Structure 1
Amino acid sequence: MAEIRKLVVTVEETHSEMGQSVHPPTRKAVAIAVIANPFAGAFQSDLSELIEIGAELGALLGRRCVEALGIAPDVAESYGKAAMVGENGELEHAAAILHPKLGAPLRTEVGGGAALVPSAKKMGGSGQTLDVPLGHKDAAYVRSHFDAIEVRLADAPRANEILVAVAVTDSGRPLPRVGGLTVDQVEGKDGLR
């Protein structure tokens, strides 16, 4: 079970871009957990504790994003995940949280998701930024949803902590114009189209 020091949830809404109205506004929610790193300062071959923490955080942070957007889970359109490990940890600690088990509970919280959950891992310290990549939850080829949201906490991650972030949107970028598969063309069967 994660030893959580802090939870932060924010929603970003874009109402206008280059003088053009964005209606409805595009919205991104990001939920962050700052947790103790149980393996800080020592090499550990078995990372299963962090893998289980990933499953716990996928559900918790995904749910917090959907609640912050005030939408039904199946209305979510894109998602992403990222983790920053403090200096006494290692990059593999972020991988253990993000990859084996975080995705399935996140998909449950957003009403499905055939596409891979975009991810990023980083070593860092308090106040450093972390970009959470975003992609359409059912079809990787939906270019309008290639995006990211930046997170930064002034006091995290500390040396023995990991900052874990999950982002969910109810839309793509504002005023997308680069072509590709559109949301209404998504089949959602293979994760690509």
Structure 2
Amino acid sequence: MSANIRKIAVFVEETHREAGRVIAPARRKAVAVAVIVNPFAGEYVEDLTPLMDIGAELGALLGKRCVEALGITPVQAQSYGKAAMVGENGELEHAAALLHPKMGAPLRVEVEKGAALVPSSKKMGGPGQDLDVPLGHKDAAYVRSHFDGIEVRLNDAPRANEIMVAIAVTDGGRPLPRVGGLTHEEAVGEDGLR
């Protein structure tokens, strides 16, 4: 792997009760985070291809970690998302290089299919700052019950010359969805929209 990884952390959030009601089975979200050295911290570089290649590696690694943490098969994954936080010596374009050109395809392999765009967010930040990872249905963007997110924070990342990269995967939508629209069961997933 070309990424210089300082640490990886994986978290699973389970919701068992919501609004006084039992959620069965519990709704689960996994988020896998890698803290990497930013190879371009402190300098302007025109060609960000090395970060794009690292994004592909992390898409596979972190997507697989999420699926494993949930204890599901790839086809059972229902939602996904990605996010990156760049330390103060980097720039937002470094996060974009990681997230956009090459991360999606390897992530889709780990969750089987993934016809819809992978929701994403990027920001500048420092150690202990929250990173919100948006979530959307992996095959059909119009499945409203799966519009969601998960927050992740590491007390020591990202440092000034680092980037914190996160991928999240779920095995269901929000608990007690009631805003209508296309359901997971109705989704066809051919065009990424419905």
State the distance in 1 between where 2:113 and 2:9 align.
24
Counterpart check, 1:106 vs 2:107:
yes
The corresponding residue for 2:177 is 176
Residues of 2 paired with 1:82 and 1:27: CA distance?
Answer: 19
Amino acid at match of 2:87: G
User: What residue is the counterpart of 1:191 in the other structure?
Assistant: 192
> Is structure 2 residue 158 aligned with structure 1 residue 139?
no
Q: Which residue of 1 aligns with 2:125?
A: 124
**Aligned partners of 1:167, 1:36: CA distance in 2, in Å?**
21
**1: distance between equivalents of 2:125 and 2:114?**
30
Letter in 2 for 1:114: A
SS at match of 1:140: coil
Structure 1 gaps, min length 5: none
One-letter code aligned to 2:62 = L
| Distance in structure 2 (CA, Å) of the matches to 1:66 and 1:184 | 20
Which residue pairs with 2:82 in the alignment? 81
C-alpha separation in 2, matches of 1:128 and 1:36: 17
Which string of whole-angstrom CA distances, capped at 9 and with x for unpartnered residues, describes residues 148-176 of structure 1? 00000000000000000000000000110
Aligned structure 1 segments of 4 or more residues deviating by more than 2 angstroms: none
Q: Counterpart amino acid of 1:94?
A: A
Q: Letter of the 2:115 partner, please give it.
A: A
- Residue 47 (structure 2) aligns with: 46
| 2:70 alignment counterpart | 69
How big is the shift at 1:2? 0.3
**Corresponding pairs, count:** 193
Q: Which amino acid aligns with 1:14?
A: T
Separation of aligned partners in 2, 1:49 and 1:102: 12
Q: Which residue of 2 aligns with 1:160?
A: 161
Give the whole-Å Cα distance in 1 for the aligned partners of 2:109 and 2:185.
22
CA distance in structure 2 between the partners assigned to 1:124 and 1:42 by the alignment: 17
Distance (Å, rounded) in 1 between the aligned partners of 2:87 and 2:152: 15
For 1:95 and 1:165, locate their aligned partners in 2 and report how far apart those are by CA, in whole Å: 13
Give the Å deviation of 1:115.
0.1
CA drift at 1:112: 1.1
Over the aligned positions, Cα root-mean-square deviation in angstroms equals 0.3
Aligned AA for 2:37?
Answer: A
Distance 2:65 2:183 in 1: 27
Give the C-alpha shift of residue 18 in structure 1.
1.1
Query: Residue by residue, what CA displacement relative to the aligned partner does 1:32-64 show, whole Å, maximum 9, x if unpaired?
Result: 000000000000000000000000000000000
CA distance in 2: counterparts of 1:175 and 1:75, whole angstroms: 19
Who is 2:21 aligned against? 20
Residue of structure 2 equivalent to 1:35: 36
CA distance in 1, matches of 2:153, 2:183: 31
Q: Which runs of 5+ in 2 are unaligned?
A: none
| Identical residues among aligned pairs (%) | 76
